Structure 1
Amino acid sequence: MKKNQIYGGGAQFCFLIFTLFMFFSCKSGETDGELLPSVSGSSGPLEKVRQLAEENRSFADGRADNIVSHPAEIRAILERGFVVFGMTAQDQKPFFYKDEQTGELIGLDVEIGYAIANRLGVRAVFNRDAASFDEVVTKVVNGEVDIALSKLSLTIRRAELVRFTNPYISFRQAMLINRLEFAKIGPEETLPAFIRNFKGTLGVIKNSSYVNYALMNFPDAQIESFDTWDETVNALFAGKTLAIYRDEGEVLIVNFTRKDASILMKPVFINDKRDPIAMAVSSEAPLLQEWLNVFLDDYLLQNRRQLTPSRLIERHFRTGADTQVN
């Protein structure tokens, strides 16, 4: 029988007891009576992370309360006294990035990471050694990080290596097309057919999920991979590619942050192609995966209205612009 295929009732019972203990019997005042911290409200991204980080600094180097009764993969974190989250070295605003004024790490994934650590009662450590999204997954497989929390796309290929949680946000896949180059091909009303049969040069980030998405969805395209998203965008504006391919959030950000984008580029949102974003843990950590799903159920219940592409952009970029997708 393969490893992790069947788990005994005892392990599931321990997980149930652990979950009930963590979510309903914590009376120390660490959460001020609130089930989970909310990202909503008037506080900005920097203030929110500072609030969570301040709470996190109060935890000691290890937990002593009933550690033995916890599932092995969670017990290891509690005994160690900290949980390690894996992120890419490259900033991924609004998910994780350094504040321009203070240099502090902030963003949605940072807030979620601190909320998880605070619920476990351990310190949060953010490992940003990974050069790519795929390398974050590799660090989970190798045991270098406990949880991949890095705006990580849930893909079949990655799911063969790690266990994914339920998605905490989902984007439409999107393209940004060079209007001038597209005009040479045909009138704009042929856009749906143009997208379906895309044959031009398509820019994507190297070692990202969109390399495989591009190969699968646009088999006739000439795929050009770039080290970073900034390089990918610059190649499009320089006329080196006909289009670039990523999620709707990133395409919207380009439109909001580059004044010439609306004139030179055309955004296209692909409604039937989704990009679910989730956390990932080791294939040998099924109960940590379940615990995170319980955590996310409550987190999403409190913050679902904030976890949309337009709300995230509005909160972290403060453009003041209309963020509705037309």
Structure 2
Amino acid sequence: MTQVTHSTFKAARRSWGVIPLLALLMFFAKTTLALAATNNTKPVVINDATSGAGTPVSTPVPADIARIRQRGELIVSMLSTDTPPFFFEKEGRLVGLEVDLARAIARELKVDIRFNREANSFNEVIDMVAQRRADLGISKLSRTLPRAQIVYFSQPYLTLNHALVLNRVAFARLASNEKLEDTVRQFKGTLGVIAKSSFTEFAKKHFPMAKVIEYPNWNAVLDAVNNGEVTGAYRDEFEIKRLLKNNPTAVLTLRTVTLKDLEDTLSIAIGVTDPTLLAFVNQVLSQQPDKLDIHKVLNALKEKP
């Protein structure tokens, strides 16, 4: 009879355990190689900024940025009416401070740019972004609470004070013996504004006792002030100062008031479904080396041919 010692049994048990394990490992190795050979999808390779080594890494691109990159262009809604020096046609090409800003954003996204100028009012620019017919709205847009309910706003890239331009005769009649400041703060006259603009909302909020009359454009508002149809017009300080620069003799019949405690913050409108684009735009604005202010805007107006 063959004797099976304890040491022999242990050796046999080790051998029997190794064989299935080796077979299992060989099976997985062959399966992995077969899958790799039939898989045609290549991993995204991102170059390491420090070493320059190619590392297979799959980096998902957020949907809002991916949409723009796949399209190959950034669509920017801009008012149809030229508003120098912010945006205007020059020798058949769209130029201006806000046009430069829009091009800078597209350049950082590494895509082309397309300006959509179908909007006939500032509110229509907002609507185009809200309806996703444009990626951005850049058109001397003021931030207001009603607008902020349907679009995101970037951080401001320009802050202007509110201002009034007043018909001297009509305002003197309204003021009587009151102080200028009291008459302005408790304004009870007629106030002209551009229809479907932020100043329609601002006028109702800051001058609740005034009769607010809307006009189709700024020139129509100024005509109404000049002929006494309204006591005054309400807009930002740049537009009021531009008026006096273009027509210095206007001071004979008009007077201006800058409201230092009321600010108009101009920002870029972005769709509420585009949070990464919002963050990206804010970063571009933060990195702009030459921040805008009223003096630079007036100088740019002077340089316009």
Shorter-chain TM range is 0.7 to 0.9
Match of 1:122 among 83, 97, 111: 111
1:313-324 pair list within 5 angstroms: 313-318=298-303
Instruction: Flag structure 2 segments of 5+ consecutive residues without an equivalent.
Output: 1-46, 51-56
Distance 1:318 1:248 in 2: 19
Distance 2:248 2:224 in 1: 17
Q: Is the alpha carbon distance of 1:103 and 1:190 closer, same or farther for their aligned partners in structure 2, counting shifts above 3 Å?
A: farther
TM-score under structure 2 length normalisation: 0.78
> Which stretch of structure 1 is more off in the superposition, 271-280 or 257-266?
257-266
Match of 1:92 among 79, 83, 89: 83
Report how many aligned residue pairs link the two structures: 251
SS at match of 1:272: strand
RMSD: 2.0
1:1-326 pair list within 5 angstroms: 69-99=60-90, 102-186=91-175, 190-299=179-288, 302-304=289-291, 307-318=292-303
Cα shift at 1:68: 6.5
Q: Is the 8 A contact 1:68 1:75 kept in 2?
A: no
> Which stretch of structure 1 is more off in the superposition, 158-167 or 103-112?
103-112
Distance 2:221 2:85 in 1: 18
Distance 2:99 2:182 in 1: 40
Distance 2:256 2:177 in 1: 12
Distance 1:310 1:242 in 2: 28
Q: Is the 8 A contact 2:160 2:265 kept in 1?
A: yes
Cα shift at 1:185: 3.2
Distance 1:279 1:108 in 2: 13
SS at match of 1:311: helix
Cα shift at 1:264: 1.3
Tell me which amino acid in the other structure corresponds to 1:161: I
Cα shift at 1:187: 6.2
Instruction: Flag structure 1 segments of 5+ consecutive residues without an equivalent.
Output: 1-20, 26-65, 320-326
Q: Is the 8 A contact 2:174 2:189 kept in 1?
A: no
SS at match of 1:84: strand
Distance 1:91 1:228 in 2: 12
SS at match of 2:261: strand
Distance 2:86 2:207 in 1: 28
Q: Is the 8 A contact 1:81 1:123 kept in 2?
A: yes
SS at match of 2:187: coil
Distance 1:103 1:173 in 2: 33
Q: Is the 8 A contact 2:190 2:210 kept in 1?
A: yes
SS at match of 2:287: helix
Cα shift at 1:287: 0.9
SS at match of 1:260: helix
SS at match of 1:184: helix
Q: Which protein is bigger by CA-based radius of gyration?
A: 2
Q: Is the 8 A contact 1:201 1:242 kept in 2?
A: yes
1:36 alignment partner in structure 2: none
Tell me which amino acid in the other structure corresponds to 2:100: E
Cα shift at 1:183: 2.2
Q: Is the alpha carbon distance of 1:218 and 1:75 closer, same or farther for their aligned partners in structure 2, counting shifts above 3 Å?
A: same
Q: Is the alpha carbon distance of 1:76 and 1:210 closer, same or farther for their aligned partners in structure 2, counting shifts above 3 Å?
A: same
TM-score under structure 1 length normalisation: 0.73
Distance 2:153 2:125 in 1: 13
Q: Is the 8 A contact 2:161 2:263 kept in 1?
A: yes
Cα deviations by residue, 1:213-260 (Å, 9 ceiling, x for unpaired): 001111111111011111111111121110000000111111111232
Distance 1:67 1:226 in 2: 55
Q: Is the 8 A contact 1:141 1:162 kept in 2?
A: yes
Cα deviations by residue, 1:167-202 (Å, 9 ceiling, x for unpaired): 100110110011122222346871100111101110
SS at match of 1:180: helix
